[in-house]
Structure 1
Amino acid sequence: MATTALQHALTEPGPDLRPLPPRAEALLRDLNAPPRLAAHLRAVHDVAHQILDWLDHDHGNVAADREAVLFGAATHDIGKTIHVDELSGPGSAHEKAGHHLLLAHGVEERLARFARTHAAWTEPGITLEDLLVGLADKVWKAKRVPDLEQRVVDHLAEASGQEAWQAFLDLDDLLTGIAVDADRRLAFQSVYPIT
């Protein structure tokens, strides 16, 4: 049974945040997720939407699994339902725990993997989709990570045939624009309690 605070975190209009995919929202309700986690996931999911819309509009020849990225953004930190202390402090135990939790709830690997890959962009086999979820998880709060961004640029340049410098400028423009609303997203998240 979802608490009132969780219900609000999942449904409040907030700073024009899109709703989570129904399957992700149902998981958060079933797990009685901390309201702050739900608010965070909505913010990251919304930023992932913005990134994907930009890809579709400006880099339509770059293929990305939209469903996977959006579900991944909406559930990447779901392991924090178990490791609640990582909502307010550092830690990575939620990554493996979240991956196992999603698999245990019948989520297929292609969607569950983001719980363990969203902070592992230097690992072998990381895809553009993994990078995009990691990117959304950083830029939602205006955090810029040059190594992560460079990896996205490399994927964009390779997939599109575009010069790397142009891909960098395009991505930088997008992320600068997204970062402008970070304070509103952070304020939305901070309204909700951790427990």
Structure 2
Amino acid sequence: MRIIDLPIEIIELLETLNSPLILKRHLTIVHATAFNLLARLKDEWPVINLKNELILFGAATHDIGKIKITNELFAAGKKHELAGMEILINQGYKKEKSRFAQTHGDWKVENREIEDLLVSLSDNIWKGKRIDDLEEMIILKLSAILESDYWEVYEKFDIILSEIATGADKRLNWQGQ
């Protein structure tokens, strides 16, 4: 998987907010992962219609609250989620885009939209972390969207995720540089 740059809009936002380098690198990797995941989904199922712009924005900003809650840059925590949504809203972004900062770590909530789930997935799969329950929720939603058999979608989706997870060690090293 190739790491691509964040959109200029996000780079400028992170600069304005004095984002630490490690956070910029993390957001870059998660954004690149979402970009690659969406491309692979489109290659596999050309008829799929997802809100790619929202997913990519969410992946690129999901942890922005760690600018304010700095102790969560290196330790687990959830305070950055609400803080991130507030930061984005204060910067003029609508809730439709800002929500990913709050929803990315809370994917178990019933009726999460597939876009939120794909941001959560991107935040985990980049480092090779597979979460069965999250993947199952996405497969169920993909099956419904595509009007396809669950097991057919499962098989193809599993291959996509296995391929994306490959190289996680290199991405972890890159983030920490």
TM-score above 0.5: yes
Q: Distance in 2 between matches of 1:123 and 1:169?
A: 25
State how 1:29-44 maps to structure 2 within 5 Å.
Answer: 29-44=15-30
Alignment length (residue pairs)? 177
> Identity, % of aligned pairs?
38
Name the counterpart of 1:90. 76
Q: Distance in 2 between matches of 1:56 and 1:95?
A: 29
8 A contact 1:61–1:159 mirrored in 2 = no
TM-score by length of 2: 0.96
Name the counterpart of 1:155. 141
Paired amino acid for 1:93: K
Paired amino acid for 2:108: T
State how 1:63-74 maps to structure 2 within 5 Å.
Answer: 63-74=49-60
Name the counterpart of 1:4. none
Name the counterpart of 2:169. 183
Name the counterpart of 2:39. 53
Q: Distance in 1 between matches of 2:128 and 2:60?
A: 18
Shift of 1:51: 0.8
Name the counterpart of 2:14. 28
TM-score by length of 1: 0.88
Name the counterpart of 1:119. 105
Shift of 1:149: 0.3
- Residue by residue, what CA displacement relative to the aligned partner does 1:33-91 show, whole Å, maximum 9, x if unpaired? 01100000000000000111012111222221111111110000000001111111110
Q: Distance in 1 between matches of 2:27 and 2:3?
A: 10
Name the counterpart of 2:125. 139
Structure 1 residue runs of 5 or longer lacking an equivalent are 1-14
| Alignment root-mean-square deviation, CA | 1.1
Q: Deviation above 3 Å: which 4+ runs of structure 1? A: none
Q: Distance in 2 between matches of 1:95 and 1:121?
A: 12
Q: Distance in 2 between matches of 1:57 and 1:109?
A: 30
| Change in CA separation of 1:16 and 1:51 when aligned onto 2, cut-off 3 Å | closer
Shift of 1:92: 0.4
